[in-house]
Amino acid sequence: MIKYFTNSELKKLFKTIENSEGKNQVRDEAIFKIGYYCALRASEISIINIEDYNSPRNELYCKRLKGSNNNTIKIIDKDILRALKRHIRNNNPESVMFISQKKNPISRKTLDYLMKKYCSIAQIKDISKWHFHTLKHTRAVDLGNSGLDLKDIQYWLGHKEVSNTEIYFQFTSQQQENMYNKIVKNISKLS
């Protein structure tokens, strides 16, 4: 069973990070929002370099792992873009976009620790969702609910095989609604 955040849970998570007062708040906000928006795995966050971000075009080149296709995602969400630009301005990354306190690329282990920390503070009850990968699943379901074509979602997620993308469509109410609308339209044609 795929675990994903509800809209209210995701808002609570982001609000918790935005309101946190730690010295890494700006970095963490950018990490979580970019991770969600681009549907990145924790290990993919750690390999983003500053040169992967094309500032004039507001595009991020996403290097995908586990046999997925690399892709370029245009950041059109102003809140996501603001978080990324604020991180770059405040942390002035030289090569690796997101680094740890020890000046190494941020690790999967650290990202999962941060997810658990912020989910706990946000009082997200279902602890099975307290993993960084839940952001990727959430984005996939949200994209499915947006009414995008399956191939568009496949590209966004970096999936080589469309069958990997199709699993998210069982969770989207928008896809079910589209199906029923087509059936109703077909029935009315027959009447």
* Residue-range domains of the chain with CATH: 7-190 (1.10.443.10)
Give the separation between CA 135 and CA 20, rounded to whole angstroms: 19
Which pLDDT score is estimated for 184?
73
Is the confidence at residue 112, as pLDDT, over 90? yes
C-alpha to C-alpha distance for 161 and 183, rounded to whole angstroms: 28
Q: Is residue 174 over pLDDT 80?
A: no
What average pLDDT does the segment 151-156 reach?
95
pLDDT > 80? residue 175: no
Segment 87-112 shows an average pLDDT of 95
> Of the candidates 80, 75, 88, 46, which has an alpha carbon nearest to the alpha carbon of residue 63?
46
Helix H or strand E segment including 44: helix 42-45
Structure tokens at 42: 């924790």
- Sorted by sequence, the CB contacts under 8 Å of residue 135 that are 6+ apart come out as 5, 32, 35, 36, 39, 40
167 band by pLDDT with thresholds 50, 70 and 90: confident
* Closest C-alpha to 105, from 170, 166, 48: 48
Q: In the predicted model, is pLDDT for residue 109 greater than 70?
A: yes
Predicted TM-score of the model (pTM)? 0.89
Q: Which residues pair with 61 in a beta bridge?
A: 72
DSSP category for residue 35: H
21-74 pLDDT, tens digit per residue, is: 999 999 999 999 999 999 999 999 999 999 999 999 999 999 999 999 999 999
Single-letter amino acid, residue 139: R
Tens of pLDDT, residue by residue over 72-81, are: 999 999 999 9
> Which two three-digit tokens encode residue 20?
């946190």
3-state SS class at 140: helix
- Taking a C-beta distance cutoff of 8 angstroms, is the pair 20, 30 a contact? no
